[in-house]
Amino acid sequence: MSDSTNLPAGSLSSSAKKLLAVIVQQAEHGTLRSKAPGVATLPEIHEACGLDPEPMQVLLRELVDAGRIQIEGEYPFEELRPLGTPVGE
């Protein structure tokens, strides 16, 4: 995975941008119907992107630190909520 520590403040690594796109897609059109609108679940994201848990946690932390997502709930029932920032930025 890419090292996000050398990025300017507010920037995201390309891997984090890709993961954010998956989170937004799953929040809008995910397969799990018993969840709240605008939320992606961790199992959906794992299934959609295929990342191993440890690298995914690093990227999720990058997205949280950048203010791009909010994580609610406790493992393994975490819900990921995109925070309205365009994915490409």
Find where tokens 């493992």 sit.
75
How many domains does one find in the chain?
1
Higher pLDDT: 1 or 44? It is 44
6 occurs within a structural domain: no
Kindly report the pTM of this predicted structure: 0.80
> Which domain CATH number covers 17?
1.10.10.10
Torsion sign, CA atoms 38, 44, 46, 49: negative
What is the spatial distance between Cα 9 and Cα 14, in angstroms, rounded to a whole number?
14
Average pLDDT of every residue of the chain: 83
Q: Is residue 4 in a domain?
A: no
Q: How confident is the model at residue 5 (pLDDT cuts 50, 70, 90)?
A: very low
Residue 61 placed within a domain: yes
Residue 88, domain member (yes or no): no
